Amino acid sequence: MSTASAVGAEMHTLVRRLYPLCRSITGDGVRETLRIIGEDLPLDVTEVPSGTEVFDWTVPPEWTIRDAYIVDAAGRRVVDFAVSNLHVVGYSEPVSRRMSLAELRPHLHTLPDHPDWIPYRTSYYQRDWGFCLTQRTLDALERDGDDAVYDVVIDADLADGHLTYAEHVVPGQVSDEVLISCHVCHPSLANDNLAGIAVASQLARHLARQTPHYTYRFLFAPGTIGSITWLARNQHRIDRVAHGLVLACAGDRGQLTYKRSRRGDAGIDRAAAHVLSTSERPHRVVDFSPYGYDERQYCSPGFNLGVGCLTRTPYAAYSEYHTSADNPDFVTPDAMADTLAVCRELLAVLDRDRRYVNLNPHGEPQLGKRGLYEALGGRSDAKQAQLAMLWVLNYSDGDHSLLDIAERAKLPFDAIAAAADALLAAELVKE
């Protein structure tokens, strides 16, 4: 098994392990998820009390659910939280009632176009309750008529507690940071949640084996309220965030999609576009919109951070999105390994991008007498490497970075960076 295959299999194992947990924007499901991530990745966990004001929001009560079900007249659980945690609308209020199907129906959610799938629904900020079930199950209930009676129970609490998020920091040579953010608030959804967590965890472990230029901060937080809370608590150090990336939908078979930051031309926007275009992978690069994942919080006008979003098939663009069909079989080890590889390439560009000054700028310096031509001898990419050296020499004027040069030359960033290293060693350029 190749290294990429082994890492892909390891990420898929993590997805399967996390899949059964009932996560929400608060509660023990998030804590247990972070505990499992923390087995291989040291985490700094923060608990923020309910009622804490964070900009225009307030940290909500903590939701705890123990059981939930609908029982028919024969005593059978026709809908059972123990079978799938998607069966309960997230943040449902406690309920214990006997009611007819006619009374119950407004609280039932199905997907008529996909009769065997359970939808995912929430009611975070409006007190309500409900159940999600397959259309086939509802059809069976309706055969017994509107007067059929059911015992309906949601054994849950909404009480003062905490919102929980966690951070892992890989120290760099400078204090400027790259923020990698993923949400941890969805229940049993493998692609829209867990695949991003698995890729982020592996990416952090990879960086820990390097000596990166930037400091890398990995944030595992509930969507929307989690990132807003983190931003509110870290306003004093937001100016350290040089680049950022939101990871989501990282494991499906679709092509990679990069969504630009609100700035549109931030360093990470340019690096992502360059990496994807030179990799020859099928991909899309799309403009920012204030809809999607937590990039919309980091890119809100009061912060306007250079934070993009990397997914495979984007938000709500695949039929399995927010349904029980988004299960561990929907995501693949190969897709997660490919997402991880692109993340590594992208961060390598950010980490290596520098500006240089040509120390011999009057005419083209003689490369042969410095052994630079001989160093290329026998290489299959000798022509590209030689061309990269000429580009770096010509544009090392203190104003152009290596990424600027790679874009202008239409050469892979790695080739430009290798040329810069060779020229630096030959004392033809300096940072």
Tokens of 72: 């028919």
pTM of the model: 0.95
Strand pairing category for 241-247 and 307-311: parallel
**How much is the pLDDT for 380?**
57
Helix axes 28-37, 3-18, angle to 10 degrees: 160
Give the pLDDT confidence of 256-290 residue by residue, as tens digits.
999 999 999 999 999 999 999 999 899 999 999 99
Q: Give the domains, in start order, of the chain with CATH numbers.
A: 3-60+162-352 (3.40.630.10), 62-159 (3.50.30.90), 355-430 (1.10.10.10)
**How much is the pLDDT for 4?**
80
Strand pairing category for 162-170 and 256-259: unpaired
N residues, the chain: 431
**How much is the pLDDT for 320?**
98
Taking the CA of residue 199 as centre, how many other CA atoms within 13 Å lie in the half-sphere pointing to its CB? 36
Give the pLDDT confidence of 26-62 residue by residue, as tens digits.
999 999 999 999 999 999 999 999 999 999 999 999 9
**How much is the pLDDT for 371?**
79
Low-confidence ranges of the chain (pLDDT < 50): 377
Tokens of 149: 């009676």
Q: What is d(CA 416, CA 411) in angstroms, rounded to the nearest whole number?
A: 7
Where do the H-state alpha helices sit in 2-160? Answer: 3-18, 28-37, 101-104, 135-142
**How much is the pLDDT for 379?**
55
**How much is the pLDDT for 385?**
85
Q: At a CB cut-off of 8 Å and minimum separation 6, what does 82 contact?
A: 67, 69
Place of tokens 């900020």: 125
Tokens of 31: 């804590």
